[in-house]
Structure 1
Amino acid sequence: MKKKSIFILLLVSCLSIIFTFTILKASAAEFNFAVETVIPKNQVDKKKTYFDLMMKPGQKQVLEINLRNDTENDVKINPLIHSATTNLNGVVEYGENDIESDSTLLYKMEDIVKTEEEIIIPAKGNYKLKMDVVMPKEDFDGVLAGGIILQEKTEGTGDKQKENENNKGLSIENEFAYVVAILLRENENGIKPEIQLNDVFPDQINARNVINANIQNIMPMYMNQMTVKAKVTKKGDSQVLYESNKEGIQMAPNSNFDYPISLHGERLQAGEYTLEMTAASMGEEWHWKRNFKIDGGLAKKLNDSDVSIQKDYTWLYVIIGSIVILLALILCVIFMRRKKKENDENKEQIACAEE
Structure 2
Amino acid sequence: MPDPVKMKKFWTVLLTIVSLLIGGGLFSQTAAAADNGAKFTIKPIYPKNQLDSSLGYFQLKTKPGSTGKLGVTVANLDRSQSRKIKVQPVVATTSDDGQINYTPSNSKLNASAQLELPKLMSKAVTVKLAPLTQRQVTFSYKIPDAGFKGTLLGSIYALDETASNSKAKGFTINNRFAMALGVSMTTNPNWVVSPNFELGDVAARVVDNQPAVVANLRNVAPTYFRGMNVKTDVTQKGESKKLYQARLNDGSMAPTSNFNFRVDTKGKAIPAGDYTLNMTVKVGKRTWHLTKDFTVTAADHDKIAAKIGEKQPNNWLYWLIGILIILLLILLAWTFYRLGKKGGRKDDKPTQDKPEDH
Structure 1-normalised TM-score? 0.77
Deviation at residue 264 of structure 1 after TM alignment: 2.4
Matches within 5 A, 1:312-327: none
Deviation at residue 177 of structure 1 after TM alignment: 0.6
Residue of structure 1 in register with 2:338 after alignment: none
1:305–1:82 Cα change, 3 Å: same
Aligned mates of 2:36, 2:238 — CA distance in 1: 58
Letter paired with 1:33? F
Deviation at residue 233 of structure 1 after TM alignment: 1.0
Classify the secondary structure of the residue corresponding to 1:154.
coil
Classify the secondary structure of the residue corresponding to 1:110.
helix
Deviation at residue 80 of structure 1 after TM alignment: 2.8
Letter paired with 2:48? K
Identity %: 24
Q: Which among 107, 112, 132 is matched to residue 124 of structure 1? A: 132
- What 5-or-longer segments of structure 2 have no aligned partner? 1-6, 166-170, 318-358
Q: For residues 97-151 of structure 1, give each alpha carbon's deviation from its aligned partner in whole angstroms, at most 9, with x where no partner exists.
A: 1112321111111111224432112222111111111112212221100112111
Matches within 5 A, 1:88-103: 88-103=96-111
1:27–1:268 Cα change, 3 Å: farther
1:258 aligns with 2:260: yes
**Aligned residues: CA RMSD:** 3.0
Aligned mates of 2:120, 2:13 — CA distance in 1: 28
Contact 2:19/2:27 (<8 A) preserved = no
Q: Which among 43, 51, 67 is matched to residue 50 of structure 2? A: 43
1:293–1:29 Cα change, 3 Å: closer
Residue of structure 2 in register with 1:147 after alignment: 155
Residue of structure 1 in register with 2:60 after alignment: 53
1:142–1:23 Cα change, 3 Å: farther
Aligned pairs, number: 301
Contact 1:81/1:95 (<8 A) preserved = no
Q: Which among 90, 115, 137 is matched to residue 145 of structure 2? A: 137
Contact 2:89/2:157 (<8 A) preserved = yes
Contact 1:9/1:23 (<8 A) preserved = no
Aligned mates of 1:208, 1:231 — CA distance in 2: 17
1:64 aligns with 2:57: no
Deviation at residue 45 of structure 1 after TM alignment: 1.7
1:34 aligns with 2:35: no
Aligned mates of 1:98, 1:238 — CA distance in 2: 37
Aligned mates of 2:33, 2:164 — CA distance in 1: 24
Aligned mates of 1:27, 1:92 — CA distance in 2: 25
Aligned mates of 1:97, 1:250 — CA distance in 2: 16
Task: Find the structure with the greater CA-based Rg.
Answer: 2
Q: Which among 77, 83, 86 is matched to residue 91 of structure 2? A: 83
1:22–1:205 Cα change, 3 Å: farther
Matches within 5 A, 1:168-317: 174-187=175-188, 188-306=190-308, 309=310, 311=311
Classify the secondary structure of the residue corresponding to 1:302.
helix
Aligned mates of 1:204, 1:23 — CA distance in 2: 39
Classify the secondary structure of the residue corresponding to 1:111.
helix
Deviation at residue 176 of structure 1 after TM alignment: 2.1
Aligned mates of 2:263, 2:211 — CA distance in 1: 9
1:13–1:223 Cα change, 3 Å: closer
Aligned mates of 2:234, 2:36 — CA distance in 1: 47
Aligned mates of 2:221, 2:48 — CA distance in 1: 27
Aligned mates of 2:235, 2:21 — CA distance in 1: 41
Aligned mates of 1:178, 1:278 — CA distance in 2: 34
Aligned mates of 1:37, 1:240 — CA distance in 2: 50
1:22–1:46 Cα change, 3 Å: closer
Q: After superposing the two structures, state which structure 1 stretch, 77-86 or 114-123, moved more.
A: 114-123
